[in-house]
Structure 1
């Protein structure tokens, strides 16, 4: 383990691994931010019950004190490099890069800059050259923020038109098992671009927008239809009644059944 201490930002650890096909699930409770860069192969990451398929060029973030598990695809096991960071400025720096609670996987395949930064951080740390290692960490962050800043450089009209298309997609498909990834696939947009666009124009993430829309549709059905509460949950796109009930309570402060009773004479 390599450490370079600083109040705002410091390196906590760095390393790399070429995984075997039978490598088991990993669950590592940590109190720092852990960044992985997938160099080759494939694997899966689950963070707060959200599973992502990871491929070469993906950078994924494991948040402090967050349940997580990740493992290689046996047919094409991944290799990856990682860097652990701590400090008072880390959260805001990562947000500038495009990371968030909902958006914890980014992709970079423009050139080998990210790979080189991860390699140099590790090599410099093994030589106790921590200042240079920290410099490469800043270069890594700079590369991602430059990519993120370039995402929204097109005209406001273009972004608005794209946002309208995605909102129409949600209106038409909310009853199905859709996600940010399905929108990315449908419109050939980067997940991060979609996240940034919704946050900028709507003030919330696309995942939250979809959830809010489903809850409002459920409210309408609870008031006006004779469908059972369970049927309504499935009808607005939830894959289980427990998930529907939990999210409804969080949004409305009451259960779907109690909400419905307000409108029964």
Structure 2
């Protein structure tokens, strides 16, 4: 489909799509996608268009309204806008060639919140634009060739683009510290039956206790203490369902110092005592 609004040149194209109810509840989905060649006249200013807009610049430059002012969007960069809010973007005097898509999905708001943090549009230069361009072109080809749309596959391609944006957005973070948290998570999993002191875990990550706890929660959503308790209880649930080990043995296998501490923490997180949980789970049978 060709669409020629002011500033959109003749050889541009746009494809509209209406996603299924299933796609809207499960996947990232498209409302429309296009490849535009824009002159300096191109300007869009809207109060609302219920979706998110991703713009990838193939050549030239454009501008996106950010913090109340227009910010430059250069070649090889992505702009992500929350179109549920007022938004504006335009081509520069040298023109702007873009691949773009209006998209949405059940977790798209969460993606935008993490990437933006301030609520303003995200503008991100990509260290390597190959993956993003390839995936956007693959989506376009489906519509150009009028192929049957596989909405799960479409969601996968969109996820690939968002993932590249995420990786580029946070590439400047202290990746060594983030990697250290990943190593600590593995260590906890492999030694869950042992006493694990937060000071020792911070030392393994080569971080201060304060920064370790802060970074740990940022990456997992839990404090180290909460994470370990949740992990111990999850292991206990598995042993209660699949073995005939005594409650006392399971408590110690999962790193609880006393049976009393085990029962208290288990009931707090599961809502039942370990014994009642075991009885109920085993009563469901192997096929439940």
1:127 aligned residue (130, 142, 147): 147
Alpha-carbon deviation of 1:107? Answer: 1.4
Give the 5 Å matches for 1:61-76: 61-74=80-93, 76=94
Q: Which runs of 5+ in 2 are unaligned?
A: 1-15, 178-213, 216-288
Contact 2:61 2:72 (8 Å CA) reproduced: yes
Secondary structure, aligned partner of 2:133 = helix
Contact 2:65 2:121 (8 Å CA) reproduced: no
Q: CA RMSD in A?
A: 2.5
Contact 2:45 2:88 (8 Å CA) reproduced: yes
Structure-1 residue corresponding to 2:284: none
CA distance in 1, matches of 2:129, 2:54: 18
Give the 5 Å matches for 1:85-164: 85-96=103-114, 98-100=115-117, 101-102=119-120, 104-125=122-143, 126-131=146-151, 132-148=153-169, 150-155=171-176
Structure-2 residue corresponding to 1:243: none
Alpha-carbon deviation of 1:48? Answer: 5.6
Secondary structure, aligned partner of 1:135 = helix
Q: Which runs of 5+ in 1 are unaligned?
A: 157-199, 202-265
Name the TM-score, length of structure 1 as normaliser.
Answer: 0.52
Structure-2 residue corresponding to 1:2: 17
CA distance in 2, matches of 1:82, 1:111: 14
Give the 5 Å matches for 1:175-254: none
Contact 1:124 1:130 (8 Å CA) reproduced: no
Alpha-carbon deviation of 1:114? Answer: 0.7
CA distance in 1, matches of 2:129, 2:87: 29
State the number of aligned residues: 155
Contact 1:120 1:133 (8 Å CA) reproduced: no
Give the 5 Å matches for 1:14-53: 14-21=33-40, 23-28=41-46, 29-47=48-66, 49-53=68-72
Contact 2:38 2:91 (8 Å CA) reproduced: yes
Give the direction of change, closer, same or farther, for the CA distance of 1:152–1:78 in structure 2 (3 Å limit): same
Contact 2:82 2:121 (8 Å CA) reproduced: no
CA distance in 2, matches of 1:50, 1:61: 16
Give the direction of change, closer, same or farther, for the CA distance of 1:30–1:47 in structure 2 (3 Å limit): farther
Structure-1 residue corresponding to 2:272: none
Bigger strand fraction: 2
CA distance in 1, matches of 2:91, 2:121: 21
Alpha-carbon deviation of 1:60? Answer: 0.9
Greater mean alpha carbon deviation, residues 2-11 or residues 39-48: 2-11
Alpha-carbon deviation of 1:3? Answer: 2.9
Contact 2:81 2:87 (8 Å CA) reproduced: yes
